[in-house]
Structure 1
Amino acid sequence: MATDTSWLLLLGALVVPFVVVLARRGGGKGKGGGRIPPGPLAVPVLGSLLWLTQSSSDLEPLLRRLIARYGPVVSLRVGSRLTVFVADRRVAHAALVERGAALADRPEVARSLLGESGNTITRSSYGPVWRLLRRNLVAETLHPSRVRLFAPARSWVRRVLVDKLTDAPSEPRPRVVVEAFRYAMFCLLVLMCFGERLDEAAVRAIGAGQRDWLLYVARKTSVFAFYPAVTKHLFRGRLQMGLALRRRQKELFVPLINARRARKNQIQKAGDPAAPEMDTTFEHSYVDTLLDVKLPDVDGERALTDDEMVNLCSEFLNAGTDTTSTALQWIMAELVKNPSIQSKLYDEIKSKTGDDHEEVSEEDTHNMPYLKAVVLEGLRKHPPGHFVLAHKAAEDMEVGGYLIPKGATVNFMVAEMGRDEQEWEKPMKFIPERFLPGGDGEGVDVTGSKGIRMMPFGVGRRICAGLGVAMLHLEYFVANLVREFEWKEVAGDEVDFTEKREFTTVMAKPLRAQLIRRA
């Protein structure tokens, strides 16, 4: 924290005496006379003065204190830029659904300093490029007909995961499970992305490159939000580190992309209707669809560059790996802590599948309402992302009685909405029954189209495109893990629900459980 803020302390010592008379509180009037959401003391140049003593890594507890003081909509200034945070579900619905088009854009991010293109689904401005890339992902990879093509991949990954979690019968011992979860989910996403079932060494190399990059972004780039024209020189070493990590990703991804490109060219050769396949090669992959994408260009259309494809593949892997493995760990931790709920879920699984079934299939999970309730309750209480990706106001807009000026960054506090005691009975208790008939969460719509009760996937026009696949993966793996093992708490090493912020919000003390094979 000291490294990130030392330059601000110096600047503050020089500037504050001259500008403090101009200090203003958030909650002042905007250009149109509307009231900007309230917030802490801010001054020109520096923005909110609390940045002199607070690190951006402590943002969530800081925002809780500000909400307790100012209410559920607060503003902070980063330099001259205004950021609004919303913790009220009704204001969130008004902003993201009722005024969705005005808040569908993304703010520019400092990662452009690293030479990253904005042509990805999460970072593209709201416009034709974003629509093209999102439509390609949804129609060509996440559509149910495409998702079914990866059923053998999910079954393979389930076996990999069970093997990672299984001890020799003579040496049962408690297991820290999060690494196995991450590895399994990454195996699945790598296969879906590149169409190839890679060996463990290759998967781990790609995983290390991806994770190093994500942790760098989460921990080292926030400082560039403060006047990047200056901080890019002050923190030149960080930029060099980021560029090296991006080069490493490209070295890992481009050969796999080229392999699918060569396969496609071979298939398209006249007289060669199908290329010879290896046992590890899958018929379809996300990269296959990217090879066909044509972006609008000044001269008409163009193919994606290798750099753009690397960015899109990185985005694909990121979107489905850490988020899913994090949610899976939280859900299994709750089942360890609540054995009666685990028993009830196991009874449902047994009643819907026969003893001769090797696994709980995707079709089986469709008829398991309690399984779905367990997953929804996990996502309500423990959303992997406590904030959505930031939005940018395309125009002045009034929401919840406040003015959000054009160009302001807006974010939404996902965890606060799902844990709001005014909306949920005993919100910090794990009660899957709330999502069954008669419960306070009956019929909840996670898309938030009619109203927001919880929003683990975001809401509105920039809602997570992989919502359906994420729910499928969580239901499938939770069901199979409970069918395969009884999960028991370890005496002296009890489950601890303390949170820690990484790329997602993870368990500060990773889940350690005793796994007993079911008869």
Structure 2
Amino acid sequence: MEVWNLVIVFLALYLSLAFLRRRRSRTLSYPPGPPAFPLVGNLLWLRRPFSEIESILRRLRLEYGPIVMIKVGFLTPVFVSDRDLAHKILVQSGATFAGRPPVGPATSLLTGNQYSINGLPYGPLWRTLRRNLSAEILHQSRIRYFSRARDWVLTVLLDKLRMEADTGEPVMVVESFLYAMFCLLVFMCFGEKLEEKTVREIERIQRDILLYVDKLTIFAFLPKIGKYLLKDRWRKIGDMRRRQKDVFLPLIRARQKWRDQGMSSCGENILEFSYVDTLLDMEVPDGEGKNRKLRDEEIVSLCSEFLNAGTDTTVTALEWIMANVVKRQDMQKKLFEEIIAVVGKVEAVEEEDLGKLAYLKAVVMEGLRRHPPGHFLLPHAAIDDTEVNGYVIPRSAPLNFMVTEMNWNGDVWENPMEFRPERFLPGGEGEGVDITGSKEIKMMTFGAGRRICPGLALAVLHLEFFVANLVREFEWKEVEGEQVDMTEKVQFTVVMKTPLKVRLFPRSG
């Protein structure tokens, strides 16, 4: 009788759960959004370019609330614009929403089957690769190890800017920023200072791939037949990937050869340790309970990710910060006076001095808040159909977070569109703000939760280091008769529509 009682209890529980599940499926619905037509989706995208999505979503929020679903062809992306809801999803339910939505065949081909830390699904392989990057390259001790690489690149950058300033002509600074940052990340990645021709070649192929990503949207509408209807575009994707491998593989093999020879030749031009070294040494799960070495194609993809993650977003943030430094001469004067007061009239601001420069840190933080390089995080995805605020988020649906709605929230930030570093000084609303968003989200330039950008500390260090030394070395002024244009333009990141052009005057002493 006891056995039968247990069976009856279990059956009752099972039937109750089944009833509740069916009831839940009837009472819960997908997030609200504008009406859509079969196959095509929402007609909004036939009338407006996709670059206007941010302004469209702000209007949709007023009508539908802080979580909206928009149908785009076969896709059903969900957009979140509320900071408390973002914290609930990314931090409190981090494991549930740490996935990535599947990508189309075009993106897969261009990224080596999405073999990157940013692109991989949440799981053992992702954890292995991210742990390697965080522990071996982005750990505080490793960051300090690369300080001589930063010192060298600072010299490269200042020499280029000084040479351009000496012509007496206005200087377009973003090109020098981009080249310098590529020099730094290439050195950290491959462990070797490369000649300018090679760095430029790497820079060119990486930029070509980044900017071509926008042209892959059409494949989301036609995932099965796109490569047959758009043969030229598909062929170009393959050509770009082959160009990338042709550039990267000789550098990877040269590093392997140097290691095989006992790392005999070290000096100014070679680092004893690099990101490629960690990739050559590591083993990853093969999905069958065993481990294996990384393949060449996978190492190429991881190196590409490392270079892009450390260059494009950092250069974009640096240009926006320096644009505000140029427009706000009072802010530039205050920044320079703090540098002189703390470190004196030295040739360069050292990394150990940065922690003493409170106003510098405030300027950088305000730059990251007011001008986040990406206005959306990379899409997340739920591992299963999951309830959020009374709605069902479909499994694998692209889940997007509006960074600017967090960073420019008027309930958190006073006059949020104003560039005001003082808000991050004692007494300001940004004092002690946690940019990781672990307790609450006030700004999420680097994301939050399990997929937060692992290079957060390195990015902030690079911005503080280069801003301090650029202001220490030059007085930055607008070109006479040409005000700095703060209009935005969407590329891979959100850049200045009119690149920053300035007059540079070397400071004496």
Is TM > 0.5 for Structure 1 vs Structure 2?
yes
Structure 1 distance, partners of 2:351, 2:267, is 26
Q: How does 1:399-438 map to 2 (within 5 A)?
A: 399-438=388-427
Deviation, 1:232, is 2.3
Structure 1 distance, partners of 2:265, 2:167, is 44
With over 3 angstroms needed to count, the CA separation of the structure-2 counterparts of 1:317 and 1:68, relative to structure 1, is same
* Counterpart residue type for residue 223 of structure 2: P
- Residue in structure 2 matching 1:336, options 317, 326, 345: 326
Per-residue CA deviations over 1:174-216 (Å, capped at 9, x if unaligned) read 2111111111111101111111111111100110011111111
Q: How does 1:290-301 map to 2 (within 5 A)?
A: 290-297=279-286, 298=288, 300-301=290-291
Deviation, 1:493, is 1.2
Q: What residue number does 2:4 align with?
A: none
Q: What residue number does 2:27 align with?
A: 33
Q: What residue number does 1:71 align with?
A: 65
Are residue 364 (structure 1) and residue 359 (structure 2) matched? no
Q: What residue number does 2:16 align with?
A: none
Per-residue CA deviations over 1:426-467 (Å, capped at 9, x if unaligned) read 111111010111111111110000000000001110000100
* Counterpart residue type for residue 367 of structure 1: K
Deviation, 1:169, is 7.5
Please identify, of 70-79 and 257-266, the stretch whose mean Cα deviation from structure 2 is larger. Answer: 70-79
Structure 1 distance, partners of 2:164, 2:426, is 42
Are residue 262 (structure 1) and residue 251 (structure 2) matched? no
Structure 2 counterpart SS, 1:487 = strand
RMSD (Å) for aligned C-alpha atoms? 1.7
With over 3 angstroms needed to count, the CA separation of the structure-2 counterparts of 1:378 and 1:115, relative to structure 1, is closer
Deviation, 1:168, is 7.0
* Counterpart residue type for residue 229 of structure 1: K
Per-residue CA deviations over 1:258-302 (Å, capped at 9, x if unaligned) read 0111112122xxxxxx41235311111100000011111237221
Deviation, 1:158, is 0.6
Are residue 305 (structure 1) and residue 280 (structure 2) matched? no
* Counterpart residue type for residue 300 of structure 1: K
CA contact (8 A) 1:30 1:405 kept: no
* Counterpart residue type for residue 176 of structure 2: A
Deviation, 1:167, is 4.0
Structure 1 distance, partners of 2:45, 2:166, is 55
Give ranges in structure 1 of 5+ residues lacking alignment. 1-28, 268-273
Structure 1 distance, partners of 2:153, 2:166, is 25
* Counterpart residue type for residue 433 of structure 2: V
* Counterpart residue type for residue 326 of structure 1: T
Structure 1 counterpart SS, 2:399 = strand
Per-residue CA deviations over 1:321-357 (Å, capped at 9, x if unaligned) read 01000000000000111111111111111111132x3
Q: How does 1:213-228 map to 2 (within 5 A)?
A: 213-217=209-213, 219-228=214-223
Deviation, 1:56, is 2.6
Percent identity between matched residues is 55
Give ranges in structure 2 of 5+ residues lacking alignment. 1-22
CA contact (8 A) 1:73 1:84 kept: yes
Structure 1 counterpart SS, 2:458 = helix
Q: What residue number does 1:145 align with?
A: 141
Structure 2 distance, partners of 1:169, 1:283, is 35
Q: What residue number does 1:135 align with?
A: 131
Please identify, of 85-94 and 52-61, the stretch whose mean Cα deviation from structure 2 is larger. Answer: 52-61
Structure 1 counterpart SS, 2:400 = strand
Q: How does 1:105-504 map to 2 (within 5 A)?
A: 105-110=99-104, 111-114=107-110, 116-167=112-163, 171-217=167-213, 219-267=214-262, 274-277=263-266, 279-297=268-286, 298=288, 300-355=290-345, 357-504=346-493
Structure 2 distance, partners of 1:301, 1:96, is 30
Per-residue CA deviations over 1:37-94 (Å, capped at 9, x if unaligned) read 2211112322223233333333223223322332322111123432111111111001
Q: What residue number does 1:24 align with?
A: none
Per-residue CA deviations over 1:17-50 (Å, capped at 9, x if unaligned) read xxxxxxxxxxxx9835224222111123222232
Please identify, of 62-71 and 429-438, the stretch whose mean Cα deviation from structure 2 is larger. Answer: 62-71
- Residue in structure 1 matching 2:46, options 42, 52, 62: 52
Structure 1 counterpart SS, 2:179 = helix
With over 3 angstroms needed to count, the CA separation of the structure-2 counterparts of 1:114 and 1:131, relative to structure 1, is same
CA contact (8 A) 1:167 1:173 kept: no
Structure 2 counterpart SS, 1:221 = helix
CA contact (8 A) 1:82 1:409 kept: yes
* Counterpart residue type for residue 191 of structure 1: F
* Counterpart residue type for residue 188 of structure 2: M
Per-residue CA deviations over 1:118-153 (Å, capped at 9, x if unaligned) read 331001110000000000001111111111111111
TM-score (norm 2): 0.92
With over 3 angstroms needed to count, the CA separation of the structure-2 counterparts of 1:451 and 1:408, relative to structure 1, is same
Deviation, 1:114, is 4.5
* Counterpart residue type for residue 495 of structure 2: V
CA contact (8 A) 1:161 1:181 kept: yes
Please identify, of 362-371 and 51-60, the stretch whose mean Cα deviation from structure 2 is larger. Answer: 51-60
Structure 2 distance, partners of 1:93, 1:231, is 37
Structure 1 distance, partners of 2:86, 2:223, is 30
With over 3 angstroms needed to count, the CA separation of the structure-2 counterparts of 1:30 and 1:184, relative to structure 1, is farther
Per-residue CA deviations over 1:242-272 (Å, capped at 9, x if unaligned) read 11001000000001100111112122xxxxx
With over 3 angstroms needed to count, the CA separation of the structure-2 counterparts of 1:478 and 1:170, relative to structure 1, is closer
Deviation, 1:408, is 1.9
Per-residue CA deviations over 1:305-329 (Å, capped at 9, x if unaligned) read 1110100000000001010000000
CA contact (8 A) 1:56 1:222 kept: no
